Amino acid sequence: MLKYILKRILFLIPIMLGVSFIVFGLLYMTPGDPARNALGPSAPESAVIELREEMGLNDPFLVQYGRYLKNIVTKGDLGTSYISKAPVTKEIMSRAGSTVRLAFLAITFAVILGVPIGILSAIKQYSIFDNITMIFALIGISMPVFWLGLLLIMLFSVNLGWLPSSGFSTPAQMVLPSIALGAQSVSVITRMTRSSMLEVIRKDYIKTARAKGQRENIVIWRHALGNALIPIITIIGIQFGQLMGGALMTEVIFSIPGLGRLMVDSIKMRDAPMVLGCVLFVAVAFSIVNLIVDIIYTFVDPRIKTKYI
C-alpha cells in the first residue's frame, strides 16, 4: 500500500509540470503589461521599462519559465507577487484556509443531504418521492451558483434578516455560502447514490439476504449500501475537488477573502506568480483528495487492498 501511495505522489510531478507550463504560457500570451499594472497608468515609461527589466519580463518565454521552475525546485519559492510585492506562498496560505473550509462545509452539506435522499429514492423507485427528488435534483444541477447565492441573500438576509450576507468568520456567516456552493453537489451525489443503489439492490445476493429473512434495514444499510459505496465515494471526492477550484463565484457574492477572489484579481493584473501559485495549490489539493479517495477504497472493499500488497 505504501508503494502505491508513493507512486501516486510521484505522479504529481508531471501533473504539476503540465499545469504550470500551460498556465504560464497562457499568461505569457495574454495582452497587457504587468509592470504597467504594478506602477499604474500615470507612471513614466522609463520607470515601466526599468521595472520590466528588474522583473525579467524581457527574457524569452522558456527562460522565464525555467527560472520559475528552478526557484521552486531549489528554494521551494513560488515567487513574489508583481503587485503586492509579498511572497506568493504567504498570500496563498493566508487565503487558502477560507477556501478549504468553504469547500469542506459545502461537501459535508451535500453528503448529509444527498446520500440519504439517494438511498430513499432507490428504495422507493418510481414513487412520488422519487419523482419529486429527481425533479429537484435536475433543478439543482441546472441552477447557477451565483443565482442561487443571490436568492439566498435576498430571502434570508434582506427579507427575513436571519443570516448575514457577507463574511466567513462566524458560523452564521458560513451557512449561506455553504448551501449555495453545495447545492449542485447535493444533486449530483443524490443521483449517483440512487443509480448505484438501484444497480446493487437488483443483485442476487440481495434477493438471497431477503429470502433468508434478514430485516430490510440490514439488507439496505449493510449489504446494499456497503457494495454501492465505491461509486458514491468516487463522486464525493470529485465533487470536493471541483468545489475547491470552483468556489470563485461564491467567494465573490458573499465577499469571502479566499483563493478564488485572489486568483481573479491576479488575472486582471496579470500577476503571473500569484495566478500560478493559486492554480498549483488547487491542482495539488485535487490530487491529494483523489489519493485519499483511493486509500478509502481499500477500507470499503478489501478486494482492492490485495492489489497493492
Q: What is the pLDDT of residues 234-288, one digit of tens each?
A: 889 888 888 877 777 788 888 888 888 788 888 877 777 888 888 888 888 888 8
pLDDT at 266 (0 to 100)? 82
Kindly tell me the burial class for residue 134, based on how many C-beta atoms sit within 10 Å of its own C-beta (0-12, 13-18, 19 or more).
Answer: middle
The three-class DSSP label of residue 235 is helix
Residue 112 pLDDT = 93
Assign domain 95-308 to a CATH class.
Answer: mainly alpha
pTM recorded for the entire structure: 0.81
Cα separation of 207 and 201, whole Å? 8
Express each pLDDT in 99-118 by its tens digit. Answer: 888 889 999 999 999 999 99
Residue whose grid cell is 449500501: 225
The pLDDT of residue 309: 55
CA–CA dist 126, 137 (Å, integer): 15
Q: Within a 13 Å sphere around the CA of 300, how many CA atoms are in the beta-carbon half? A: 18
Instruction: Indicate the domain borders of the chain.
Output: 95-308
Q: Percent of the chain having pLDDT more than 70?
A: 96
